[in-house]
Amino acid sequence: KTEIRKINPLQPEQTIIMQAASIISNGGLVAFPTETVYGLGANGLDDVAARRIFAAKGRPADNPLILHIADQAEIRPLVKSVPANAIALMNAFWPGPLTVVLERSELVPDAVTAGLDTVAIRLPRSLIARRLIQAAGVPIAAPSANASGRPSPTTAQAVWFDLVGKLDMILDGGQCDVGLESTVVDCTTPVPTLLRPGGITREMLLAVLGELELDRNLSDQTSAPRSPGMKYTHYAPAAPMILIDALPPADTVKLLLREVNLALAAGKRVGAVTSAETAALLPKGVLGAVYGPRGDKEQMAGNVYECLRRFDKSPVDVIFGEAVDEAGIGLAIMNRLRKAAGYRIISG
C-alpha cells in the first residue's frame, strides 16, 4: 500500500510532485523531506485527513500539528493576527527551520490544533516541501514522520521502518540537512517564548527579538510543559539510554568510559553514542555510533537521530550518550538527548 518514490531535492520532478499532491487532495498521507526531518503530511484544512495522521503515528490526540505553507502570505487566513515580533522572525528566518505559534482562525480544523486556540505554522526551506504544498493548494499538516515516541526520521528508510503500510507514499529526497526538528517560538506571549530549540538557535532569535523567554520545560525540566508535545516520551531508541553529562564538562569522557567498562564487566551488551574523538577511545566490544567531530556541532546535530536508530537492528542492553556543550545548536542537541534518555543523566 505504501509507495516509495525517489525525487531530486534540487529539481523536484513535477510529475512526482503532482502524484503526491493528488494523494493529499484526496485525504491521503504522504511523507516528504524537509530541511529538518521528514514530515507525515495531510491536507491541513481537512479535519478527517488530519486525524489520519494521529492514527498512523499512534500520536496522542492532544499533541497539535504544524501547518506548513509555501509563501508567507498564506499565513493570513490561518491566524487572527500577526504581531510585529512574528513578522520580524518570519522575515529573518523563513523559509527555514522555524515554527511560529499564533492565535488560530476558524479555518484551522480542531484536529490540527488539538483543540487549542493557537496554531503552529512553518514555511520550510526544502524545495520538495514547498512544491508539494503549492501543488496541493492547501497548507499541509505534518508532524515528524516517525511512530510516536521514536526518534524523528532523517531518511526515507527511517520513515519506511516506522510507518510502512500506514501511509500512501514516501517521497525519498535523501538525507535531511539540519537533522533536528524546527525551532518552535510562541508569539502569543508578551515576550516571545522558546518552546523547542532547533536549527534557528536561541542566539539567532535574540539577535532579532532582543528578548526571549525560555519555556519551563527548557529551564526547569521537572515542571509541567506548555508545548503539548513536550510531555511525552520522545526520541527513544530501542534500548534504555543514559546520558553522561559531567561537571566540569572535560570529565564527561572519563566518566563515560568508566560507565562503559562497568557495564561491559557486568556482561551487558553496550552501545555508545559519542563524538568521533571519544569513539576512538572506546574499548573493544562496544557498539559505537558517532555524531561527528566535536568541533562541528551542525554535523553532530544532523546525525543524532540516525545514531539513536543504529540500535534498532543491533540490539544492546544499554546505550551511553555523550553530552555536548549547549552553545548554538548544542541546546537543541542536548534537549533531544535528555528526552531520548528519559532524563536518566549521570553527572559525576
From the CB of 200, what's the least distance to ligand TXA, in Å?
A: 11
Contact between 42 and 133 under an 8 Å Cβ cutoff? The reply is no
Backbone angles phi, psi at 185, to 5 degrees: -120, 125
Would the annotation count 15 as a binding residue? no
Cis amide prior to 248 (ω within 30 degrees): yes
- Nearest CB to ligand TXA, comparing residues 124 and 321: 124
- Nearest CB to Mg ion, comparing residues 12 and 237: 237
113, 118, 126, 144: which one binds Mg ion (CB under 5 A): 144
**Residue 37 touches which member of Mg ion, ligand TXA, none, C-beta under 5-8 Å by kind:** ligand TXA
Would the annotation count 81 as a binding residue? no
Q: Using CB under 6 A as the criterion, which residues of the chain lie in contact with ligand TXA when the complex forms?
A: 34, 36-37, 39, 63-66, 97, 99, 101, 113, 116, 118-120, 122, 142-144, 181-182, 184, 195-196, 227-230
Residue with cell 553514542: 273
Closest residue to ligand TXA in the complex (CB):
229
From the CB of 227, what's the least distance to ligand TXA, in Å?
A: 4
- Does 274 help bind Mg ion (rule: CB under 5 A)? no
- Nearest CB to Mg ion, comparing residues 93 and 235: 235
Looking only at the bridges linking them, the beta strands covering 318-322 and 270-274 are parallel
From the CB of 27, what's the least distance to ligand TXA, in Å?
A: 19
Contact between 120 and 101 under an 8 Å Cβ cutoff? The reply is yes
Round to whole Å and give the CA distance between 282 and 278.
Answer: 7
From the CB of 159, what's the least distance to Mg ion, in Å?
A: 12
Taken in order 166, 170, 176, 181, the sign of the CA dihedral is negative
Would the annotation count 131 as a binding residue? no
Closest to 143 in 3D by CA, of 61, 77, 25:
61
Would the annotation count 8 as a binding residue? no
Helix, strand, or coil (residue 68): strand
The end-to-end CA distance of the chain, in Å, is 50
From the CB of 149, what's the least distance to Mg ion, in Å?
A: 9
Looking only at the bridges linking them, the beta strands covering 213-214 and 193-196 are parallel
Interface with Mg ion (CB under 5 A):
144
